[in-house]
């Protein structure tokens, strides 16, 4: 999957190999991680990676790349609440 974002036209890509290795481009920051969940801020929103035995093998924020190893069971994008995107309270307080 490759997608260009509106943020500096940085390319966001995912490459999953056999549910055991994930390579990401377009990474802005890693919000949190443990052996079950890695939460990554990308140029296309927040990506939550779930699995077992997850390990951040490589992180280079200068180039926006991240490598994760482990048994990956799911990935889900959400909007970044800190940028004012969506959310009940954000809409209520407008």
pLDDT for residue 10: 72
- CA dihedral of residues 66, 3, 89, 32 (deg, nearest 10): -10
pLDDT for residue 79: 77
d(CA 28, CA 10): 10
Instruction: Find, among 77, 86, 4, the residue nearest to 45 by Cα.
Output: 77
Q: Is the pLDDT of residue 76 over 80?
A: yes
pTM equals: 0.75
Phi, psi angle pair for 84, to nearest 5°? 90, 10
Domains of the chain as residue ranges with CATH: 2-92 (2.60.40.2000)
Q: Which two tokens stand for residue 36?
A: 């079950």
pLDDT in tens, 15-74: 999 999 999 999 999 999 999 999 999 999 999 999 999 999 999 999 999 999 999 999
């Amino acid at each position: 999957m490759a997608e260009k974002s509106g943020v500096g036209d940085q390319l966001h890509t995912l490459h999953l190999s056999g549910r055991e290795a994930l390579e990401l481009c377009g990474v802005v920051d890693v919000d949190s991680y443990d052996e079950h969940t890695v939460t990554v801020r990308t140029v296309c929103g927040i990506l939550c990676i779930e699995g077992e035995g997850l390990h951040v093998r490589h992180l280079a924020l200068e180039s926006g790349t991240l490598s994760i190893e482990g048994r990956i069971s799911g990935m889900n994008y959400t909007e970044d609440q800190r940028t004012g995107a969506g959310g009940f309270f954000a809409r209520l307080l407008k």
